[in-house]
Amino acid sequence: MSINYSEKIPNNVNLASDRKLQRALEHWQPHFLKWWEDQGPSDFAANDVYLRTAVGVDSQGWASYGHVKMPDYRWGIFLADQIPDRKIGFGDYYGQPVWQQVPGELRSQFRRIIVTQGDTEPASVEQQRLLGLTCPSLYDLRNLFQVNVEEGRHLWAMVYLLHCYFGRDGREEAEELLARHSGDSDNPRILGTFNEPISDWLSFFMFTYFTDRDGKFQLKSLAESGFDPLARTCRFMLTEEAHHMFVGETGIGRVIKRSLEVMKELSTDDPATIRSQGAIDLQTIQRYMNFWFTSSLDLFGSEVSSNAASSFATGIKGRPDEEKYDDHICSDATFEIETPDGTENVGMRNAMNEVMRDSYIQDCGIGLKRWNMLIKRAGFDIELYLPSSKFRRSIGSWVGLPVDPHGNLIDQATYDKKLSDWIPTESDRVFVTSLMQKVTAPGKMAGWIAPPDRGINNNAVDYEYVRLN
């Protein structure tokens, strides 16, 4: 079904046919806009931004580009097309028809997962609130805002499900999604990473590379859900997610490219010299990477999890790309897990978080390969790496243990002493922050980042992506 833009809330779910639901969502809409005004991108509300808006959900024409003021963005409710006769693809109900309503006995579990997913979306917008003030270029400013409006739409996606399928409880949860705030000591966001500040653009690129990629994997697993409206919502969200990770991958790549230019020019890999030229040394980039990668690993939950087993068994949440596996039941299979007490064989269903984390780690490796190629081609003997998944964990069996980035359990004193070599120090942050000076002349870039290879939607890099006057 095509998207109806003549309504207050654009949608392709025929919202007009359900007056009660429509009224409830129209009641929530001003609360969302108020939240956007208070907690969304600071400044720039009056500026025209070159944004893409979904106009259809098929693989072709779903994006239309044009200058819009962010508060006028047409946030709406878009589900991917229904797949006729879709069957549940995993767990105890394998092969049965998918559900168009939430089964009563799974109600609270579904609600919890939808709320957790929904909570991350506005959280990320809050985390990125001030970045516009220090953008390295108009091109980057536009990309930031594109990510922000789409995360706002992802919130709409989850709020639609809450309103439509969870009655009064759902409406209350939808209000709570606007009441919790990232980093708020009284009422924080649900998951750890979404309470970490993103106060500089290097962190923003790391976040969109590593944390939005958790989004990709969680959405892929929910796109397998037996609850069809959830699956369809997530399938469409994934098309938007690709751009967020593009921003992360190309952003980190451009920072590295700029550093390599300085390194080649001065034939050095000495961090202090590189910094003196206003670029970011690869060692600092590695430390930022270590921070955001390990924080994002926690988002998959514990290695052994009865929640995960139950979500799989009951058809709530499958594995990303479930069809690529042979066994969709997994009632007898086991999975080998490394714990501080040695390897353990656990039931596959209980290990689903770890299975997902493993495929996530592989996916994270793709960008590293590319970046290391750049470094090698520039003639330097430095290799960026992903630290061990046992390093700096706050969730799961390695929580709080003194494990180094190579995965070795070491003594606490050495760990404490060396931690500042592994994650950003206060002085790293001060340095990176010192580089964050706003650059807004079309086509100009801050000195710490190389220009992108191309602009957005076939426009030139020096296109006026945000009109500032």
The binding site for ligand BYC (CB under 6 A) comprises 113, 116-117, 120-121, 124, 151, 191-192, 211-212, 214-215, 218, 298-302, 305, 307-308, 317, 353, 395
The 3-state DSSP composition of the chain as helix, strand, coil percent (nearest 5) reads 55, 10, 40
Q: How far apart are CA 441 and CA 252, in angstroms?
A: 22
220 lines the binding site for Fe ion (CB under 5 A): no
Closest CA to 290 of 402, 211, 356, 385: 385
154 lines the binding site for Fe ion (CB under 5 A): yes
Q: How far apart are CA 33 and CA 55, in angstroms?
A: 21
Q: Which helix (H) or strand (E) holds 107?
A: helix 107-127
Q: Least distance from C-beta 346 to ligand BYC, angstroms? A: 13
| C-alpha separations of 105 from 102, 108, 118, 381 in Å | 8, 8, 21, 57
Helix (H, G, I), strand (E, B) or coil at 205: helix
443 binds, among ligand BYC, Fe ion, none (CB under 5 to 8 A by kind): none
122 lines the binding site for Fe ion (CB under 5 A): no
Identify which range of 128-136, 195-203, 241-249, 315-323 contacts Fe ion by CB under 5 A.
241-249
305 binds, among ligand BYC, Fe ion, none (CB under 5 to 8 A by kind): ligand BYC
The CB-nearest residue to ligand BYC is 301
Q: Answer for the pair 70, 45: CB distance below 8 angstroms, yes or no.
A: yes
Q: Least distance from C-beta 296 to Fe ion, angstroms? A: 12
113 binds, among Fe ion, ligand BYC, none (CB under 5 to 8 A by kind): ligand BYC
Q: How far apart are CA 406 and CA 425, in angstroms?
A: 19
Q: Least distance from C-beta 305 to ligand BYC, angstroms? A: 3
Identify the residue among 244, 287, 357, 392 touching Fe ion (CB under 5 A).
Answer: 244
Q: How far apart are CA 19 and CA 21, in angstroms?
A: 6
189 lines the binding site for Fe ion (CB under 5 A): no
Q: What is the DSSP letter of 207?
A: I
Specify the residue, 274 or 299, whose C-beta has the smaller distance to ligand BYC.
299
Q: Phi and psi for 51 in degrees, rounded to 5?
A: -115, 155
Specify the residue, 251 or 405, whose C-beta has the smaller distance to Fe ion.
251
Helix (H, G, I), strand (E, B) or coil at 48: strand
Specify the residue, 53 or 353, whose C-beta has the smaller distance to ligand BYC.
353
307 binds, among ligand BYC, Fe ion, none (CB under 5 to 8 A by kind): ligand BYC
Q: Give the interface with Fe ion as residue ranges (CB under 5 A).
A: 121, 151, 154, 212, 215, 244
